[in-house]
Amino acid sequence: MDKQVTSLADAMAGITDGSVVLVGGFGQVGHPMALIDALIEQGAKDLTIVCNNAGVGRSGLPRLMKLGRVRKIVCSYPRTAAVFSELYAAGQLELEITPQGTLAERIRAGGAGIGGFYTRTGAGTLLAQGKETRSIDGKDYVFETPLRGDVALIEAWEADRFGNLTYRGSGRNFNPVMVTAAALSIVQVQRVVEAGTIVPEAVVTPGLFVNRVVEVPYAPPFAAIEY
């Protein structure tokens, strides 16, 4: 029942080569920088990263890519990091572009056990190539499959020892859906509070979906960006 681990190294235990890793955040907001740095130290490689964007600057996800540890990235907007452009142009990184709303819904479907859904987004474009399409009420829709991960790396505002999570402001973004869609969910939080402290109605992610929680002191979100 106690989901809290004492170190970032313990939080990364068991992540294997070839894993699909869901990474929360929108730019640097709600982005689990400490967990990404810990994953770099842990050493897993040949990873598929699912994230809204490919990171910012050269720390975090860009550094993981630069080290050659990422085989593929699934995201809606990859060119926020020069490292991505360099590796992709050199043929060293695979890319699956997914529109932002579709990405969120594919992850939500993965967490909810839904077999897929139809959306008008991407219909009639290159993004629909190779996918099932059908006409509904005279309009074309594209069938999108769910996304699940072996691991989810998440940032939340606070947790109790049972893993119940709250988020703060726009830091919520992709994190709540990602934490439901992975076999192993690892969460960095700015503070861990006593069990029973969080008002039940304030819980966004129940501890049922959380495997490990590690407390990481607050750091300014853009302090580590290097362009």
The pLDDT, as a whole number, for residue 123 is 96
Q: pLDDT tens, 83-139?
A: 999 999 999 999 999 999 999 999 999 999 999 999 999 999 999 999 999 999 999
pLDDT number for residue 163: 96
Q: What is the pLDDT of residue 125?
A: 95
* pLDDT tops 90 at residue 28: no
pLDDT, position 220? 55
**pLDDT exceeding 70 applies to what percent of the chain?**
96
Average pLDDT over residues 31-36: 95
Q: What is the pTM for the complete model shown?
A: 0.92
Q: Is the pLDDT of residue 150 over 80?
A: yes
pLDDT at residue 225 greater than cutoff 70: no
Mean pLDDT of 198-227: 80
Instruction: Please tell me the distance from the alpha carbon of residue 178 to that of residue 151, in angstroms, as a whole number.
Output: 9
Which one is predicted more confidently, 78 or 212? 212
pLDDT value of position 59: 87
Structure tokens at 148: 């699940």
Name the pairing type of β-strands 139-144 and 133-136. antiparallel
Q: Which helix (H) or strand (E) holds 82?
A: helix 82-89
pLDDT at 181 (0 to 100)? 98
Q: At residue 224, does pLDDT exceed 50?
A: no
| Nearest alpha-carbon partner for 221 in 190, 177, 193, 195 | 190
Q: How confident is the model at residue 219 (pLDDT cuts 50, 70, 90)?
A: low
